[in-house]
Amino acid sequence: MAVKNHEMDMLLAEAAMKEFLKYGYNDASLRRIAEAAGTTTGSVYMRYENKDQLFRSLTNCIVEEADKAFDALRPLYASSETIEDMMKAAETESDMILRIIFEHYDAATLLLCKSEGSSAASFFEDLIKRKIQESESFFAFLPQSQDLLHALDVLLTVQFDMYRQVLKNGYTEDQARGCMNTMMKFMNGGWNTVMQDFFDEKGEAFQ
């Protein structure tokens, strides 16, 4: 049985990370990755079925961390009874996302900014769909409103795109947290107004 070359595994991973960060998934070259790692494309294919699998191997850490974090957050959202509870849950979520991003900065950049053309490209959209479903369950007690549901879709898309912009703008972690704290205040103020309008229409006080 052949002994696996773990050193080459690391060299390929490092070379692939640099290649994908520079060129993005579509324009990245397995030949250049192999050359940078000091090996052949055959060696790459011995380890990875294709370029997509190699890309996913570099971004899976983000996907797994996000899944665990959002699973842990679900009870917090489910137990929310007021818009203030929902806001606190959203702030906790924002802190969590930023922590994951800065613990796996290069992988996060690949996944959110460089994944077009790969099977990982749907991660952002899938995450938004998940949040829309969770948020709709919270708003279920309100009168059904297509305007609200459409706004929810658009606003959550905008909110999650903020994290992509943090990466594109190259913010430090402190800068990113300052930016997101300001944006969350802005978003929460808007949601508070929307919810108050619904309760005012029903003639009820908003708690």
pLDDT, position 88: 85
Q: CA-CA distance, 121 to 125, in Å (whole number)?
A: 8
Number of helices (H) and strands (E), helices first, in the chain?
9, 0
| DSSP secondary structure, 3-59, as one string | PP-HHHHHHHHHHHHHHHHHHHHHH--HHHHHHHHTS-HHHHHHH-SSHHHHHHHHH
Q: What is the pLDDT of residue 3?
A: 41
pLDDT in tens, the chain (207 residues): 344 678 999 999 999 999 999 999 999 999 999 999 999 999 999 999 999 999 999 999 999 999 998 888 888 877 877 778 878 888 898 999 999 999 999 999 999 999 999 999 999 888 888 877 777 666 665 555 677 777 778 888 888 899 999 999 999 999 999 999 998 888 888 877 877 766 665 545 444
Q: What is the pLDDT of residue 145?
A: 64
Distance of CA 204 to the CA centre of its chain: 37
Q: Report pLDDT for 206.
A: 43
For the whole model, what pTM was predicted?
0.84
Predicted local confidence at residue 146, as pLDDT:
72
